[in-house]
Amino acid sequence: MNDSSDLFKKYNERFNEIVKLSNELNIIQDFDILLEKILISARRIVNADAGTIYIKEGNDLIFRHTQNQTLQNRLPKGKKLPYNFFRIPINKKSLSGYCAETGKVLNIPDVYKIPKNTPYHFNDDFDKVSRYKTISILTVPLKTNVNEICGVLQIINAKNENSEIIEFSKDDEPFIIHFANTASLVLERAQMTRILLMRMIQMAELRDPKETGAHVNRVASYAVEIYEHWARRRNIDEREIEKNRDMLRMAAMLHDVGKIAIPDTILKKPGKLDTDEYEIMKKHTYMGAKLFYDQHSNFDEIAKIVVLNHHENWDGTGYPGHIDFLTGDPLIKDNNGNAKPKKGEEIPIFGRIVAIADVYDALSSKRVYKDAWNENDVYNEIVKLRAKKFDPEIVDIFFDCIDEFKAINNRYKEE
Ligand code: C2E
Ligand code: SIN
Ligand code: SIN
Ligand code: FE
Ligand code: FE
């Protein structure tokens, strides 16, 4: 056994510690799906026609989930309501803003008959645009267990047995408060997940100081930009795009998280790696993927895909290929008994996207082992690698996104 293998064993042990820690991530469930279910249950229990969950972001409330049976019924079967994100500032002027600022429950029998002397008003823009008639609204704060407000649950138009709109009764309030508490728990858990993820990203950066936060942010932003173009070309539902975008951003930030398993002597080597060293370096793909092995959420799945597949090549010359990512053993072998590299659409789309984002950034940046390339050389290289290293369609999309990439580069400059 040579030196690098011994060192690798040592790092492997440390790495297993991190694997244990990161298993905590696997208790998470998909955040949006949970909120959606909570909203459905809350509406069902008080027989409400519509409902919205707002999430606090800075000094605003973001309209995150909305359901409306009446509007839904006007759409062809299977079609979803248009999904618009909008913000309401947190202040006493709106119902939801008032609720978020004061923490009070607002039970309004008829929003068009709110007395003039109250601080809050009903904004009828949504009714006008959608030709919907809002009448009764019950608005409840989402509070964390330290009593911080993290959002608002709003239930709209209670109905009686004859489907006539009625007001929410005082007895409805405790039920809705119960669902608001559940939603708060989900939100807190998702926030904790984010904090854990950011910690993992930082750990990876500490190991590889040349790959700064700026690099990680740029790769993630390029990847999201490319994904959006790719998804729009396929008419993928906006809601689906929105959901994947967040998760892809996080996953792309973690693409090289497996480098925490690579010894410093290799990772920080100022010159070219020899064959043995490069073989060890290649393990950063499946070593990283192990962190997400116990897939319980969409996020785990996307992170695993990105980490495992970001060095596969379109023409089947990349790595690690068809392997069992828990053991590193080949699942499909080539003629030499090594794992057969994945090829073309065998490589998941998120892997194909992060591959180009990563190389674009690696070529444009200085590394311990290389200088930064100039812009034209980078573009020429990417053209050269079209249909070789990279999915040809992704290369075409890449060149449609150059302006956006430049904006991203300005935003995340090297410290
Ligand atoms: P990285 O620095 O993030 O590079 C990511 C990928 O960008 C590389 O994957 C490669 O496809 C591309 N790339 C980077 N620099 C160049 C270049 O000068 N020319 C070309 N044609 N492509 C380039 P790859 O090769 O699988 O490497 C994975 C990781 O292994 C690299 O991540 C880096 O951390 C490490 N690495 C690769 N080669 C060397 C080396 O010669 N010395 C050292 N110290 N590390 C290396
Ligand atoms: C999760 O909680 O599943 C990850 C975070 C998110 O989906 O926003
Ligand atoms: C609010 O004021 O809480 C939002 C409801 C609306 O104005 O449509
Ligand atoms: Fe990598
Ligand atoms: Fe990288």
Which pLDDT does position 25 carry in this prediction?
42
Q: How far apart are CA 351 and CA 223, in angstroms?
A: 10
Which pLDDT does position 393 carry in this prediction?
98
What separation in Å is there between the alpha carbon of 310 and the centre of ligand 4?
6
Which pLDDT does position 261 carry in this prediction?
87
Which pLDDT does position 21 carry in this prediction?
46
Ligand nearest to the CA of 216: 5
Q: Which residues pair with 408 in a beta bridge?
A: none
Asked whether 299 lines ligand 2 (CB < 6 A), one says: yes
- pLDDT average, residue stretch 242-270: 88
What is the share, in percent, of the chain residues with pLDDT greater than 70? 88
Q: Considering the chain, what is the average pLDDT of its residues? A: 88
Q: Could you say which DSSP state residue 293 is in?
A: -
Asked whether 30 lines ligand 2 (CB < 6 A), one says: yes
Most confident of the ranges 9-23, 70-84, 349-363: 349-363
Q: For residue 137, give the 3-state DSSP assignment.
A: strand
Of all atoms in ligand 2, which is nearest to the CA of residue 190?
2
What is the share, in percent, of the chain residues with pLDDT greater than 90? 58
Which pLDDT does position 45 carry in this prediction?
84
- pLDDT average, residue stretch 254-283: 92
Whether 259 is catalytic: yes
In the structure, which protein residues have their CB atom closer than 6 angstroms to any atom of ligand 1?
269, 272-273, 281, 311, 358-359, 362-363, 367-370
Which pLDDT does position 34 carry in this prediction?
73
Name the architecture of domain 2-190: 2-Layer Sandwich (3.30)
Give the DSSP letter string of 204-231.
HHHH-TTS-HHHHHHHHHHHHHHHHHHH
Give the tens place of pLDDT for each residue, 204-221: 766 666 666 788 889 999
Give the tokens for residue 304.
Answer: 């695993």
Helices (H), 89-212: 95-102, 125-130, 172-207
Of all atoms in ligand 3, which is nearest to the CA of residue 127?
8
What separation in Å is there between the alpha carbon of 207 and the centre of ligand 1?
16
Give the tens place of pLDDT for each residue, 24-42: 444 444 567 678 878 888 8
Give the tens place of pLDDT for each residue, 272-291: 999 999 999 999 999 999 98
Give the tens place of pLDDT for each residue, 334-351: 999 999 999 999 999 999
Mutate to test the pocket of ligand 1, among 363, 377, 386 (most ligand atoms within 8 A of CB): 363
Mutate to test the pocket of ligand 2, among 22, 31, 189, 302 (most ligand atoms within 8 A of CB): 31
Q: Which of 51-65, 84-98, 200-214, 231-245 has the lowest mean pLDDT?
A: 200-214
pLDDT band of residue 51 (cuts 50, 70, 90) is very high
Residue owning the nearest CA to atom 7 of ligand 3: 123
Q: Which residues pair with 88 in a beta bridge?
A: 61
Q: How far apart are CA 252 and CA 192, in angstroms?
A: 19
Give the DSSP letter string of 37-102.
HHHHHHHHHTTEEEEEEEEEETTEEEEEEEEEHHHHHHSPTTPPPP----EEESSTTBHHHHHHHH
Return residue ranges of the chain for CATH 1.10.3210.10. Answer: 208-411
Of all atoms in ligand 3, which is nearest to the CA of residue 125?
8
Ligand nearest to the CA of 100: 3
What is this structure's pTM? Answer: 0.70
Sorted by sequence, the CB contacts under 8 Å of residue 157 that are 6+ apart come out as 48, 49, 50, 70, 134, 135, 136, 137, 165
pLDDT band of residue 15 (cuts 50, 70, 90) is low
- Report which residue type is found at 299: F
Return residue ranges of the chain for CATH 3.30.450.40. Answer: 2-190
pLDDT at 155 over 50: yes
Q: How far apart are CA 325 and CA 328, in angstroms?
A: 5
- Report which residue type is found at 351: G
Which of 3 and 323 is assigned the larger pLDDT? 323
Which pLDDT does position 19 carry in this prediction?
55
Helix, strand, coil percentages (3-state) for the chain, rounded to 5, are 55, 15, 35
Q: For residue 258, give the 3-state DSSP assignment.
A: helix
Q: Which CATH number fits domain 208-411: 1.10.3210.10, 3.30.70.520, 1.10.10.60, 3.40.309.10?
A: 1.10.3210.10
Which pLDDT does position 10 carry in this prediction?
58
- pLDDT average, residue stretch 368-391: 96
Which pLDDT does position 153 carry in this prediction?
96
Which pLDDT does position 11 carry in this prediction?
60
Catalytic member of 56, 259, 282, 290: 259
What separation in Å is there between the alpha carbon of 362 and the centre of ligand 1?
7
What separation in Å is there between the alpha carbon of 152 and the centre of ligand 1?
47
End-to-end CA distance of the chain: 40
Which pLDDT does position 78 carry in this prediction?
67
Q: Which of 112-116, 172-176, 351-355 has the lowest mean pLDDT?
A: 172-176
Which of 205 and 396 is assigned the larger pLDDT? 396
